Amino acid sequence: MNIVLVEPEIPHNTGAVGRLALATGSVLHLVKPLGFSLDEKSVRRAGLDYWKDVDLRVWESFEELIAAHPEARVWFLSTKAKNSAWSVEFQPNDFLVFGRETKGLPEAWLDERAIRIPMKEDSTRSLNLATSVAIVLYEAQRQVGILK
């Protein structure tokens, strides 16, 4: 699977998603600008001793990522989406796209490929980014039988 974080802002969330990518054999794509540095000193200070093992790709823009993967099946995760993530039949190599912690994804991207994690009405505005990635990533991997 492919995890895409568009303009992530919080290094610890990205670090937790990196650990998820490593644990599941997924590729982590980061789309600039990043709200933190990925230099070795910053990664070490954050305690990301596994970071060197993460299959990481960094992109200048989302358009650049898509141009490099024209065949990609893309799912946009948003609390504003109408369709539930449980209604999707995921396939290997799908791209799960998550937005910034403070703003999410641009509304213009929220088409029929936009999905949400079901939550109890009036319970909370949203879930933590790393938690959201974990929920959808493991459901996708369960469906395609990657992890047993």
Q: Worst-scoring range by mean pLDDT, 6-15, 31-40, 58-67, 79-88?
A: 31-40
pLDDT value for 50: 84
Could you tell me where the beta strands, DSSP code E, fall in the chain? 2-6, 27-31, 55-59, 74-77, 83-84, 95-98, 114-116
Q: How far is 81 from 118, CA to CA, in rounded Å? A: 10
Summary mean pLDDT of the chain: 92
Give the count of domains, the chain: 1
Q: Which domain holds residue 124?
A: 2-144
Model-level pTM? 0.94
In CATH, what number is assigned to the domain containing residue 39? 3.40.1280.10
